[in-house]
């Protein structure tokens, strides 16, 4: 070590090696401390992309893209004047000259250096382990390689039955491989679980078709006969496979520490002190490469804490890393697994309570101190509901209740969950971002007044997301304590949420806004509650929306059955189901557009929009369209818009089902359904997905055996990939599920909430939606279907009804007392079509007219 | 100023608005049978959206004040004073309006009482 008294400089070049989750967190913390940072930051990244969310790596098998996982794009580094060298590993640290040297030949001087090189997967040195079909599971590139390899494989083996191994096994399973897990220990997840827990987990995983082999020691990998490879085991029959994924633990990436003679642990890891300083005071190490108190922390939260510690130290503030809790909660192949504190009861004198339900597949173990006063740890398999409570008991040393077993007994006679009030101020609510209950209360005092505000202000629940439920209860309790009503009222006229109002209207059989207001509201109503109630009434009764009692409720677009444009004119969008249109109909559209001189455009929804119709022209235009067989396209309503389609099996050489036929069928089935927000569908004829179904509220993709259903996608402002909801459905199964999903959305969503946001806010998320819709856990499926039936039966083309009613047509006069059109509407021509005149063009036009 | 006969009650739409033309100016007429008085008339031109559309907005009340929400960008205009609730110094003209039997009668408010002075 150099001079012990060397004090760390407090400014200059800061070099960070490694741009993983922890390295990135350090940059982010420093950047957020403000412009005044005395450090010029240089980051060297071994991977070819900026830091991404490794914790959610497996989401890449679940429709997410690497971009979705990106923590901050390269542009963010540029914007914050951080130099980021991608794909350039540091190969040497020259401590004498305080310089790092990269494989690409870059030399960079440092005043302070941080090693955030993470860890690498341990591959046991079994002969044959270097075959090209032997892979690991750590980076985006690794997953690409796995996908590629799986393309030609039928069977895959994961070596290692720990947490990551099971994640990898699930990935192989999703890729359609016959999946095997080979574990050296006699049980799965030996680190977190005991024998009983491991056995239960094994049963659940095997039920998914994954083959588990425990107590197996691999000795040799050589060429197979049926498959590419053969694994030979000590004292066991061999197993053939096409590929192997090693997930046998991680090792700290400490080679630079070794190269530059920093102090290392006996079994690896760069030794650091409470400030995360290595044996060279100018060099720090954080994250999975750092060894603190002889421990490596293989979780992201402790790494983040280390990053914040170093950020503080670099800014000359106090920072201390004093260890971290390693409790974890996760879902493995649909099985909840939780491990709190000393789950293995290693503490001297520890005592255990156990509860096991073999029928439901639930196992809970509570570990308490010798004096039976405190929780030391817990193990949960099959159901993690008790996790938050047990974790808080353990972390905060909350004294056990009189009957400790009640903490793990099934609900009913169980102790109530620990309320937010019972937690001390110091209780950690979010361990990823180290946010305590006290910090949340401070933020509430500082003016935050919603869960969203709190997330923005404290970052709580923006990491792994595991703390979401607990955070919500703490925030709600905090708001309540401050006399803030946790308010989801529709507006000043209704003290109910949309969902509550929906139920009141449904149960009360209410039919008009007046009835609803008189029984449940006050005042006259406004432009928020009127359309919302109109939409609810329409979803339940599907009356003609221009009945006298409804007409004043509708947004102008609904009143005039057309979309208002910036100059007060309207657009006309007839329905073109699935985008299929006969040449005759196409010519009708052309003829009508040309007759009324309407700007004509193909929309993004596979239909044709005619713009610039004046109010009094709308009925005339529609009369001609209806005569030609068109009907309203509901482009104006919060309702079903279009069902996009690709050409499908009828023409396309790849199509496996008739996507156009299905799209037309769906469009006719659901047209006219009014909902909290607009609804878009698409149907693709094969997985090439030309109809972009995965960006729709309801997406349908053909398979060899039927249809895959995707739900809750969104384009627009915040795009969201739809979630795969059910696979290989028959036509009947498909519409049954769509009926239920849509009606459940209609019932429970907020006003103007697209399905994407609805699902994200639905407690229990996709799993819960599946339970309600597929397993019918609420027992409402039949009701939902029946309600859809009512809506479908009452469908009418609103334009046809309107054209047929002279009284209604009066609404479309420009003026009640004059036949003249609105003289202020002025067009100019551009590219052969009319468009609204701009402000300047308008004054020119008026002048020429008046002279 | 004289009261002018604009239209009859059956030209109006209960709970909503229609447009009328008076001396070349566009007026938005609102008919709220529950309220007293039941008739309101303000300019049809939305000064923020820049189009003649206020008659096509949703009527209601905001903190007890009768308003119409512009269908373009949803600002609220008072049916009594023509003032825009969201933007100071923006307002639309107001007319006096009444029912005489089934006849709808209208006359400009004295300029001094009209915020816009038009
Ligand atoms: C005409 C069209 C653009 C075009 O020229 O292609 C269009 C035009 C409008 N869109 Fe759109 N959208 C059109 C396709 C889309 C698409 C693409 C699609 O459907 O495949 C999207 C993204 C997909 C999605 O919705 O998930 C889209 C996302 C939006 C959004 C953002 C929604 C969101 O969830 O973020 C709005 C705003 C809103 O609804 O609040 C919007 C709102 C509008 C409005 C209604 C804005 C308005 O209030 O005036 C536009 C008036 C339409 C009119 O006057 O006829 N439009 N809009 C398309 C009509 C499709 C149709 O045939 O019905
Ligand atoms: C599939 C999977 C699931 C996981 N799930 C969870 C979970 O649920 N909860 C949890 O807390 N943790 C989980 N983890 C662990 C978590 O991802 C890690 O704890 C975390 O990523 C550690 O961050 P790090 O920055 O220390 O290391 P890393 O994220 O590994 O980053 C280190 C980076 O440094 C780079 N590097 C290495 N050497 C050099 C060099 N010489 N020059 C330049 N760059 C270099 C590497 O290329 C790498 O990009 C999971 C990990 C995986 C793989
Ligand atoms: S999605 Fe498939 S069937 Fe449809 S057009 Fe594309 S390739 Fe053809
Ligand atoms: S604990 Fe991970 S986000 Fe809060």
| 8 Å CB contact between A259 and A92 | yes
> Contact B58/A530, CB-based, under 8 Å?
yes
State ipTM.
0.70
Question: Among the three residues A554, A575, A593, which one is the final residue of a domain in this structure?
Answer: A554
Q: Which of B8, B15, B97 to mutate to test the interface with A (most CBs of A within 10 A)?
A: B15
CB A212 within 8 Å of CB A188? yes
A521 three-class SS? strand
- A849 pLDDT higher than 90: no
The last residue of a domain, from among A506, A527, A554: A554
Q: Å from B59 to nearest chain A CA?
A: 6
pLDDT of A354-372, one tens digit each? 999 888 889 999 999 998 8
Q: A110 and A256: one domain? A: yes
A364 and A242 co-located in one domain: no
Query: Cβ contact (<8 Å) for B69 and A552?
Result: no
Residue of the CA atom closest to atom 46 of ligand 1 = A563
How far is C-alpha A787 from the chain's CA centre? 30
Q: Are A700 and A666 in contact (CB under 8 A)?
A: yes
Residue A677 lies in a domain: yes
Is the distance from the beta carbon of residue A239 to the nearest atom of ligand 4 less than 6 Å?
A: no
CA distances from A494 to A484, A499, A545, A625, B85 (A): 18, 12, 22, 40, 21
Residue A24 resides in a domain: yes
Q: Is the CB of residue A566 below 6 angstroms from any atom belonging to ligand 1?
A: no
Other Cβ atoms less than 10 A from the Cβ of A387: the count is 23
Query: Which residues neighbour A687 within 8 Å (Cβ) at sequence distance 6 or greater?
Result: A701, A703
Regarding predicted confidence, which is higher, A307 or A425? A307
- Residue A296 is assigned to a structural domain of this protein: yes
Task: Tell me which residue has tokens 């009692």.
Answer: A549
Shared domain check, A544 and A436: no
Whether omega for the bond prior to residue B37 falls within 30 degrees of 0, making it cis, is: yes
pLDDT of B23 > 90? The answer is no
The overall average pLDDT reported for chain A is 91
Domain assignment present for A464: yes
Q: What stretches of A125-228 adopt beta strand conformation (E)? A: 134-136, 155-159, 178-182, 211-213, 218-223
Residue of A nearest to B8 (CA): A816
> Which of A278, A288, A300 is closest to A253 using CA atoms?
A288
Q: Is the CB of A633 under 6 A from ligand 3?
A: no
Cα–Cα distances (Å) from A724 to A150, A727, A758, A770, in that order, read: 21, 8, 16, 11
Rounded to whole angstroms, the Cα distance separating A565 from A692 reads 28
Which residues share a beta bridge with A512? none
The span from the CA of A685 to the CA of A681, in Å, is 14
Q: Partners of B104 in the beta sheet?
A: B7, B99
Of A524, A817, A824, the CB nearest to B52: A824
CA distance A768 to A376: 32
> What is the predicted pLDDT for the residue at A415?
45
Give the chain A residue nearest B50 (alpha carbons).
Answer: A567
pLDDT at position A417: 55
Residues A789 and A663 reside in one and the same domain: yes
Q: Cβ–Cβ contacts within 10 Å for residue A733, how many?
A: 15
Order of strands across the sheet that contains A211-213: A134-136, A243-246, A155-159, A178-182, A211-213
Q: Which of A311-315, A458-462, A500-504, A644-648 is predicted least confidently?
A: A458-462
Range of the domain at A530: 498-554
Please answer yes or no on whether A817 and B58 come within 8 Å at the CB atom.
Answer: no
Instruction: Decide if pLDDT at A6 tops 80.
Output: no
Residue that finishes a domain, picked among A391, A418, A445: A418
pLDDT in tens, A595-613: 999 999 999 999 999 999 9
User: SS3 of A185, please?
Assistant: coil
Are A46 and A139 within one domain?
no
Ranges A3-17, A55-69, A180-194, A787-801: which has the least confidence: A3-17
From residue A602, alpha-carbon distances to A560, A608, A661, A785 in Å are 22, 5, 21, 34
Give the residue from chain A lying closest to B30, CA to CA. Answer: A552
Residue A103 contacts by C-beta under 8 Å, 6 or more apart in sequence? A88, A89, A90, A91
Answer yes or no: do A353 and A238 share one domain.
no
* pLDDT tens-digit map of A219-276: 999 999 999 999 999 989 999 999 999 999 999 999 999 999 999 999 999 999 999 9
Half-sphere exposure of A212 toward its Cβ, with a 13 Å CA cutoff? 23
Compute the distance between CA of residue A234 and CA of residue A218 in angstroms, rounded to an integer.
6
Instruction: Give the pLDDT of residue A467.
Output: 78
Quick one: pLDDT at residue A411?
A: 62
Give the residue from chain A lying closest to B57, CA to CA: A556
How far is residue A803's CA from residue A618's CA, in Å, rounded to a whole number? Answer: 10
My answer on whether A369 and A470 are in the same domain is no
User: Looking at beta carbons, which residues of chain B come within 8 Å of A531?
Assistant: 58
CB A17 within 8 A of CB A115: yes
Bridge partner residues of A640 (DSSP): A679
Are residues A774 and A674 both part of a single domain? Answer: yes
Nearest-angstrom CA–CA distance, A388 and A452: 21
- Contacts for A91 with CB less than 8 Å, ≥ 6 apart: A101, A102, A103
Q: Are residue A646 and residue A781 in the same domain, yes or no?
A: yes
Test B58 with A526 for CB contact under 8 angstroms.
yes
Q: Lay out the sheet containing A599-602: strands in order across.
A: A563-564, A570-572, A608-613, A599-602
* CATH number of the structural domain spanning residue A374: 3.30.390.30
pLDDT digits (tens, 9 = 90+) for A22-69: 999 999 999 988 766 789 999 999 999 999 999 999 989 887 899 999
Q: Find the distance separating the first CA and the last CA of chain B, reported in whole Å.
A: 14
DSSP calls for A524-593: S--TTHHHHHHHHHHHHH---TTSHHHHTTS-HHHHTTSEE-TTS-EEE-B--GGG---HHHHHHHHHHH
Per-residue pLDDT, A3: 42
Centroid of ligand 2 to alpha carbon of A20 (angstroms) = 5
CB atoms within 10 A of CB A447: 8
69-98 of B, contacting A, C-beta below 8 A? 69, 71-72, 74, 76
Domain membership of residue A49 (yes or no) is: yes
Q: Vertex A293, ends A292 and A297: CA angle to 5°? A: 45
Residue A438: which CATH number? Answer: 1.10.10.1100
- Domains, chain B, in order of start with CATH, read 4-108 (2.102.10.10)
Indicate whether A457 and A537 sit together in one domain.
no
CATH code, domain with A179: 3.50.50.60
CA A351-A354-A357 angle, to 5 degrees, is 175
Cα of A463 vs centre of ligand 4, distance in Å, is: 5
B 8-47 near A (Cβ less than 8 A): 11-16, 18-22, 26, 29, 32, 34-35, 45
Say if A361 falls within a structural domain. yes
Same domain, A225 and A181: yes
**Within-domain flag for A609:** no
- Shared domain for A219 and A351, answered yes or no, is no
Whether the CB-CB separation of A119 and A252 falls below 8 Å is answered with yes
Burial A606-630 (b: 16+ CB within 10 A, else e): bbbbbbbbbbbbbbbbbbbbbeeeb
Task: Tell me which DSSP letter residue B41 carries.
Answer: E
Two tokens, residue B51: 């189009």
Examine residue A588 and state whether it is found in any structural domain, yes or no.
no
Please say if the pLDDT value at position A519 is more than 60.
yes
Q: Could you give the number of structural domains in chain A? A: 6
Q: Which residue's structure tokens are 């082999």?
A: A213
Ligand 2 near A116 CB (within 6 A)? yes
Position B118 pLDDT exceeds 50: no
Q: Encode pLDDT of A546-568 as tens digits.
A: 888 888 888 888 889 999 999 99
Specify the pTM: 0.56
């Amino acid at each position: 070590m150099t001079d012990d008294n060397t004090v760390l400089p407090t400014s200059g070049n800061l070099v960070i090696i490694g741009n993983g989750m922890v390295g990135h967190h350090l940059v982010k913390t420093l950047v957020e401390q403000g412009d005044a940072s005395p450090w010029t930051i240089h980051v060297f990244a071994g991977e070819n992309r900026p830091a991404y969310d490794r914790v959610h790596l497996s989401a890449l098998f679940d429709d997410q893209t690497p971009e979705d996982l990106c923590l901050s794009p390269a542009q963010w580094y540029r914007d914050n004047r951080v130099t980021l060298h991608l794909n350039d590993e540091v190969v040497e640290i020259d401590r004498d000259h305080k310089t790092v040297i990269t494989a690409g030949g870059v030399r960079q001087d440092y005043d302070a250096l941080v090693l955030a090189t993470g860890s690498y997967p341990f591959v046991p040195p079994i002969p044959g382990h270097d075959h090209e079909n032997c892979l690991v599971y750590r980076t985006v590139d690794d997953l690409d390689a796995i996908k590629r390899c799986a393309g030609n494989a039928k069977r895959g083996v994961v070596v290692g039955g720990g947490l990551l191994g099971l994640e990898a096994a699930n990935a192989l399973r999703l890729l359609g491989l016959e999946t095997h897990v080979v574990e050296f220990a006699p049980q799965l997840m030996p680190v977190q679980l005991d024998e009983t827990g491991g056995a239960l987990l094994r049963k659940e995983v095997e039920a998914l078709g994954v083959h588990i082999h425990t107590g197996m020691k691999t000795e040799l990998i050589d060429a197979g006969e049926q498959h590419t490879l053969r694994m030979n085991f000590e004292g066991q029959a061999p197993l053939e496979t096409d590929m192997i994924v090693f997930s046998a633990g991680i090792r700290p990436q400490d080679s630079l520490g070794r190269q530059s003679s920093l102090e290392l642990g006996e079994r690896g890891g760069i030794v650091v002190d409470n400030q995360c300083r290595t044996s060279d005071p100018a060099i720090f190490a954080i994250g999975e490469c750092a060894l603190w108190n002889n421990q490596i922390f293989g979780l992201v939260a402790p790494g983040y804490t280390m990053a914040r510690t170093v950020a503080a130290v670099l800014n000359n503030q106090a920072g201390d890393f004093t260890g971290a809790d390693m409790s974890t909660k996760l879902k493995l192949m649909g099985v909840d697994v939780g491990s709190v504190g000393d789950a293995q009861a290693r503490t001297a004198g520890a005592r255990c309570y156990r509860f096991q339900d073999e029928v439901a597949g639930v196992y809970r173990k509570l570990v308490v101190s010798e004096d039976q006063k405190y929780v030391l740890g817990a193990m949960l398999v099959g159901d993690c509901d008790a996790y938050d409570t047990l974790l808080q008991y353990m972390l905060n040393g909350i004294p056990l209740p009189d009957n400790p077993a009640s903490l793990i007994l099934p609900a009913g006679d169980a102790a109530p969950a620990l309320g937010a009030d019972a937690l001390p101020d110091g209780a950690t609510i979010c361990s990823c971002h180290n946010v305590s209950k006290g910090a949340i209360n401070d933020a509430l005092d500082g003016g935050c007044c919603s869960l969203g505000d709190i997330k923005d202000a404290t970052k709580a629940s923006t990491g792994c997301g595991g703390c979401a439920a607990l955070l919500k209860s703490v925030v709600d309790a905090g708001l309540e304590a401050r006399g803030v009503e946790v308010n989801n009222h529709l507006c000043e006229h209704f003290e109910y949420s949309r969902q509550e109002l929906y139920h009141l209207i449904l149960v009360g059989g209410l039919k008009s806004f007046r009835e609803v207001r008189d029984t449940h509201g006050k005042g006259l109503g406004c432009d928020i509650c009127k359309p919302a109630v109109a939409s609810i009434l329409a979803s339940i009764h599907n009356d003609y929306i221009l009945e006298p009692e409804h007409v004043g409720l509708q947004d102008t677009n609904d009143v005039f059955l057309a979309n208002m444009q910036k100059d007060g004119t309207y657009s006309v969008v007839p329905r073109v189901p699935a985008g299929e249109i006969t040449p005759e109909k196409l010519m009708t559209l052309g003829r009508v557009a040309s007759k009324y001189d309407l700007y004509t455009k193909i929309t993004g929804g596979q239909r044709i929009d005619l713009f610039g119709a004046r109010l009094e022209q709308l009925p005339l235009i529609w009369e001609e369209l209806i005569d030609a067989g068109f009907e309203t396209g509901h482009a104006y309503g919060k309702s079903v818009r279009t069902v996009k389609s690709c050409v499908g099996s009828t023409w396309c050489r790849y199509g496996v089902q008739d996507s156009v036929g299905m799209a037309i069928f769906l469009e006719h089935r659901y047209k006219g359904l009014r909902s909290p927000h607009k609804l878009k569908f698409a149907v693709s004829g094969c997985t090439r997905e030309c109809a972009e179904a995965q960006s729709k509220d309801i997406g349908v993709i053909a398979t060899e055996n039927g249809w895959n259903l995707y739900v809750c996608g969104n384009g627009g402002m915040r795009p969201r990939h739809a979630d795969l909801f059910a696979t290989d459905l028959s036509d009947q199964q498909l519409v049954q599920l769509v009926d239920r999903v849509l009606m459940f959305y209609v019932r429970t969503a907020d006003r103007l909430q697209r399905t994407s946001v609805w699902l994200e806010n639905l407690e229990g998320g996709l799993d819960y939606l599946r339970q309600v819709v597929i397993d019918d856990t609420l027992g409402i499926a039949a009701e939902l279907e029946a309600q859809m039936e009512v809506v479908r039966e009452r469908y009418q083309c609103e334009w046809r009804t309107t054209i047929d009613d002279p009284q209604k047509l009066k609404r479309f006069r420009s003026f009640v007392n004059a036949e003249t059109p609105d003289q202020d509407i002025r067009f100019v021509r551009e590219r052969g079509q009319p468009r609204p005149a701009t402000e300047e063009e308008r004054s020119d036009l008026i002048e020429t007219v008046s002279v | 100023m004289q009261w002018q006969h604009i239209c009859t009650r059956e030209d109006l739409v209960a709970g909503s608005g229609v447009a009328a033309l008076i001396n070349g100016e566009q007026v938005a007429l609102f008919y709220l049978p529950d309220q007293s008085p039941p008739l309101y008339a303000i300019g049809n031109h939305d000064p923020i959206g820049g189009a003649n559309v206020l008659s096509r907005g949703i009527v209601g009340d905001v903190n007890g004040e009768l308003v119409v929400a512009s269908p373009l960008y949803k600002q609220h205009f008072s049916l009594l004073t023509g003032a825009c609730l969201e933007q100071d110094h923006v307002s639309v003209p107001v007319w006096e309006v009444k029912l005489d039997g089934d006849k709808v009668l209208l006359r400009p408010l004295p300029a001094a009482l009209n915020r816009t002075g038009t």
